[in-house]
C-alpha cells in the first residue's frame, strides 16, 4: 500500500496489568499475500501484537489517550470514551461531540454483547422539502441548518460510562480536554482534509479561525489549540450530558442550527434518548457474529455476506484465493443484494415497526440459500435484480485486561459535518439528516415514495456504520468497524471475512485493496492497488470496473489468536487514514 502503517512501543503498564515476557507493538516484518489470478504479490504491514490490552483508532493521540486510560484503572469502555472524545478534538473532519454513533460492548463477566444506539434524530419541525433540496458539500451556510440532527454522542458516551465504566466521566474526558486546551500536532489525515476541503471550510468563520490562520490551511504537525472545545469537554466530564440537552449549551446548539436555516428546537434536545437494542446476530458453527441492528444497514450486509459465502475455512471463498477476480466478483454480487435490501427495508425501527421483522426475513436461511444459488462466476446482476419472495466517520476498538471489548463508531456524517459551530462551545454540528433517503437513492429499486428511510419528525436516519464483535465458543476472536460513509459496510465485510475465512494477519485484512458497489448501477469501483489482470478477470465475469481512489475510508480491527497456550491480541489501524494501533 502507498500509505505507511505506523506502530510505536508504549510505556510499561502499571502493576495491575500483568508483566509479560514479550510485548510487540513495533513490527518490522511484513506479511506477503498472493493474488492467485495474477501471481502478483503485495506486501502489507503486520498488526501490533500483545497479550492483555489493545487499542486501534484513526489517530495516534487518540490511541495513546485510550491506552493511558487503561493504565490508570479504566476498562475498555472508559478507553473507548476517551478515544472518541479525543478523536473529536484532533480529527473534527470525522467526528465530535456534536455528532452521534453506535457502540457494541462485550462484557466478559456477563458473557453478553449489548448494543447502544446514540444516532442523531430529526427535529419535530423538520422541513423535508428544504432538506431534500440540499446540495451536499456545496450547500451554502444559510442552508446547512436543515441538515443538523439532535446530537447523540453526549448522551451515548455518558450512558456508556454510567452503566459499564470503571472511572468517572471526568477522568475519561480529561485527556481530550487537555489536548484541546494545550494543543496537539495536526495529523496527516486532518492536514490532507484541510487542503482538500478549503473552499468549504472557509465558509465557516469558526473553523477557518482554528485551521486557516492567515487564510492558509495548517500543515502536517502544525500545533492546533481549541480552547473553547476544551472548556466544553471539561464541563461534559463534570456535569455530564445535561447542559447539552436542557442547559445553556443546548441553547447555543439550537441557535447555531437555526441561524443557518434549520428548524431544531430546544424541545428536540430535551426529548432525546439513547436506545439499547438487541444486537443483530447469526451463528456459524462455533462462531457467532454480533453486529449493529437497524437503523444500521451495515450489519445486515455483513450477515448476508457471511450467510451466503461462509464465515470460516469451509467458506466457498477459501478455494478461490484471496483477491482473485472470482473472489472480488462474488463480493460485489453479495454487496448488490445488500444494497437492494437497504433501499427497500432499512429504516428507524422505532417508527417503522416492521423493520426488525424485515431484517429477520431478509436473513432467513432459505432466502440466503437462494441468493447463493444465484451467484454465477460469469454473470453480473444489477442491484435491483436481487429481489425478495447503505463520509465523515471514525471507528474505535478497545480490548482490556479483564476481557471486555468495545467496538464503537462515531460520526458527524459529511466531512466537518454541517461546518457549523455552536457559539463559543467549540462544538461542530453534524449534517446527519442528509442520510435520509432521497429520490436518487431509491431510484430503480421499486420503492414507493422514499421508503422506510424517508425523512420525518423524530426519525433516526439509516446508517452504514457496522461495529462488529465475533465470538468463537463464547470468547472474542475479532472486533472491527470502520469509517467512510456508504463504503463502511462493504469495507467491514471484506476485512472481517478476510480474517474469518483466511486467518490473515489483521494488518493485511484492513490494508488489502477493496472494492465498492453503490446504488442501482452495475459498476464496481476498485482501489488502485487491485492488479490490472485481476480487473481484466472481473470484466470477463461481467463486471463494469472503474478505478476509484479514496483516503476517507478506514477499518480498525482487533483479533485474538487462541491457537497457542497464551492468546495473542493483534491490533491494527487502516493506513488509508494514517491510523494507529497499540497492543501489550
In order along its 584 residues, the chain shows pLDDT tens digits of: 333 222 322 322 332 333 333 333 333 223 333 343 333 334 688 999 999 999 999 999 999 999 999 999 999 999 999 999 999 999 999 999 999 999 999 999 999 999 999 999 999 999 999 898 875 545 555 578 999 999 999 999 999 999 999 999 999 999 999 999 999 999 999 999 999 888 878 878 888 888 999 888 999 999 999 999 999 999 999 999 999 999 999 999 999 999 999 999 999 999 999 999 999 999 999 999 999 999 999 999 999 999 999 999 999 999 999 999 999 999 999 999 999 999 999 999 999 989 999 999 999 999 999 999 999 999 998 766 554 433 568 999 999 999 999 999 999 998 899 999 999 999 999 999 999 998 888 888 888 889 999 999 999 999 999 999 999 999 999 999 999 988 999 999 999 999 999 999 999 999 999 999 987 777 999 999 999 999 999 999 999 999 988 777 999 999 999 988 889 999 999 999 999 999 99
Residue with grid cell 502507498, as numbered in its chain? 2
Cell of 141: 451556510
By CB atoms closer than 10 A (0-12, 13-18, 19+), residue 324 is buried
Give the contacts of 54 (CB within 8 A, at least 6 positions apart). 48, 397, 398, 399, 558, 569, 570, 571, 581, 582, 583, 584
Instruction: Please give the torsion angle defined by the CA atoms of residues 12, 16, 17 and 19, in that order, rounded to the nearest 10 degrees.
Output: 60
The answer to whether 409 and 393 are in contact (CB under 8 A) is yes
pLDDT for position 447: 85
Catalytic machinery residues: 393
The C-alpha atoms of residue 9 and residue 269 are separated, in whole angstroms, by: 43
pLDDT for position 140: 57
> If residue 328 lies in a helix (H) or strand (E), which one and from where to where?
helix 325-345
In this prediction the pTM is 0.92
Greatest distance between any 2 Cα atoms in the chain: 63
To the question of domain 284-392+464-583 being in CATH 3.60.20.40, the answer is yes
The C-alpha atoms of residue 493 and residue 299 are separated, in whole angstroms, by: 9
Q: Per this entry, what is the length of the chain? A: 584
Long-range contacts of 365-373 (CB under 8 A, 24+ apart): 365/307, 368/304, 368/307, 368/308, 371/304, 371/308, 371/334, 371/337, 372/308, 372/309, 372/316
pLDDT for position 141: 58
Helix 169-182 vs helix 60-71: angle between axes, to the nearest 10 degrees? Answer: 140
The answer to whether 24 and 48 are in contact (CB under 8 A) is yes
The answer to whether 578 and 62 are in contact (CB under 8 A) is no
Give the contacts of 478 (CB within 8 A, at least 6 positions apart). 468, 469, 470, 496, 499, 500, 557, 558, 559, 560
CATH 3.60.20.40 residue ranges of the chain are 284-392+464-583
pLDDT for position 16: 33
Instruction: Please give the torsion angle defined by the CA atoms of residues 423, 428, 432 and 434, in that order, rounded to the nearest 10 degrees.
Output: 80
The answer to whether 314 and 412 are in contact (CB under 8 A) is no
The C-alpha atoms of residue 330 and residue 376 are separated, in whole angstroms, by: 8
- Determine how β-strand 475-483 pairs with β-strand 54-57: unpaired
Amino acid at each position: 500500500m502507498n500509505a505507511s502503517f505506523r506502530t510505536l512501543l508504549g510505556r510499561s503498564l502499571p502493576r495491575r496489568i500483568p508483566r509479560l515476557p514479550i510485548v510487540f507493538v513495533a513490527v518490522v516484518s511484513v506479511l506477503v499475500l498472493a493474488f492467485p489470478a495474477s501471481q502478483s504479490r503485495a506486501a502489507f504491514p503486520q498488526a501490533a501484537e500483545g497479550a492483555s490490552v489493545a487499542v486501534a483508532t484513526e489517530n495516534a493521540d487518540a490511541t495513546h489517550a485510550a491506552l493511558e486510560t487503561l493504565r490508570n484503572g479504566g476498562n475498555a469502555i472508559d478507553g473507548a470514551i476517551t478515544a472518541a472524545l479525543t478523536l473529536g478534538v484532533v480529527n473534527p473532519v470525522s467526528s465530535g461531540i456534536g455528532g452521534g454513533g453506535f457502540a457494541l460492548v462485550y462484557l466478559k463477566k456477563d458473557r453478553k454483547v449489548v448494543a447502544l444506539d446514540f444516532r442523531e434524530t430529526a427535529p419535530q419541525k423538520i422541513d423535508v422539502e428544504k432538506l431534500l433540496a440540499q446540495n451536499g458539500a456545496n450547500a451554502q451556510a444559510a442552508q446547512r441548518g436543515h441538515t443538523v440532527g439532535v446530537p447523540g454522542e453526549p448522551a451515548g458516551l455518558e450512558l456508556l460510562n454510567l452503566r459499564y465504566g470503571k472511572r468517572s466521566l471526568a477522568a475519561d474526558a480529561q485527556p481530550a480536554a487537555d489536548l484541546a486546551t494545550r494543543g496537539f500536532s495536526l495529523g496527516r489525515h486532518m492536514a490532507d482534509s484541510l487542503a482538500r476541503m478549503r473552499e468549504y471550510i472557509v465558509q465557516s468563520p469558526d473553523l477557518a479561525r482554528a485551521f486557516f490562520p492567515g487564510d492558509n490551511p495548517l500543515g502536517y504537525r502544525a500545533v492546533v489549540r481549541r480552547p473553547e472545545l476544551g472548556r466544553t469537554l471539561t464541563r461534559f466530564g463534570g456535569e455530564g450530558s445535561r447542559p447539552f440537552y436542557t442547559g445553556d449549551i443546548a441553547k447555543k446548539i439550537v441557535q447555531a442550527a437555526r441561524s443557518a436555516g434549520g428548524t431544531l428546537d430546544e424541545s428536540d434536545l430535551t426529548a432525546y434518548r439513547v436506545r439499547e437494542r438487541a444486537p443483530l446476530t447469526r451463528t456459524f458453527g462455533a462462531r457467532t457474529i454480533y453486529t449493529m441492528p437497524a437503523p444500521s444497514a451495515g450489519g445486515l450486509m455483513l450477515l448476508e455476506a457471511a450467510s451466503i459465502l461462509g464465515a470460516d475455512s469451509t467458506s466457498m471463498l477459501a478455494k478461490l484465493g484471496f483477491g482473485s477476480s472470482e473472489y472480488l466478483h462474488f463480493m460485489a454480487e453479495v454487496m448488490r443484494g445488500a444494497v437492494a435490501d437497504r433501499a427497500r427495508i432499512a429504516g428507524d425501527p422505532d417508527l417503522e415497526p416492521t423493520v426488525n421483522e424485515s431484517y429477520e426475513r431478509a436473513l432467513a436461511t432459505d432466502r440466503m440459500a437462494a441468493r447463493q444459488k444465484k451467484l454465477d462466476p460469469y454473470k453480473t446482476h444489477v442491484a435491483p435484480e436481487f429481489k425478495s419472495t447503505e463520509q465523515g466517520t471514525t471507528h474505535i476498538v478497545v480490548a482490556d485486561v479483564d476481557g471486555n471489548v468495545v467496538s464503537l463508531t462515531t460520526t458527524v456524517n459529511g466531512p466537518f459535518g454541517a461546518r457549523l459551530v455552536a457559539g463559543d462551545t467549540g462544538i461542530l454540528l453534524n449534517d446527519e439528516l442528509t442520510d435520509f433517503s432521497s429520490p436518487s437513492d431509491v431510484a430503480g429499486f421499486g420503492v414507493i415514495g422514499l421508503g422506510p428511510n424517508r425523512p420525518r419528525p423524530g426519525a433516526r436516519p439509516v446508517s452504514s456504520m457496522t461495529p462488529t464483535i465475533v465470538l468463537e465458543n463464547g470468547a472474542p476472536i475479532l472486533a472491527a468497524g470502520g469509517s467512510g460513509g456508504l463504503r463502511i459496510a462493504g469495507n467491514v465485510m471484506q476485512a472481517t471475512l478476510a480474517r474469518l475465512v483466511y486467518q490473515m494477519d489483521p494488518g493485511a485484512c484492513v490494508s488489502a485493496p477493496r472494492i465498492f458497489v453503490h446504488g442501482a448501477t452495475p459498476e464496481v469501483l476498485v482501489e488502485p492497488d487491485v492488479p490490472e489482470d485481476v480487473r481484466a478477470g472481473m470484466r470477463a465475469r461481467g463486471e463494469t470496473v472503474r478505478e476509484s481512489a479514496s483516503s476517507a475510508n478506514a477499518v480498525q480491527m482487533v483479533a485474538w489468536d487462541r491457537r497457542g497456550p497464551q492468546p495473542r491480541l493483534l491490533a491494527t489501524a487502516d493506513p488509508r487514514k494514517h491510523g494507529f494501533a497499540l497492543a501489550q
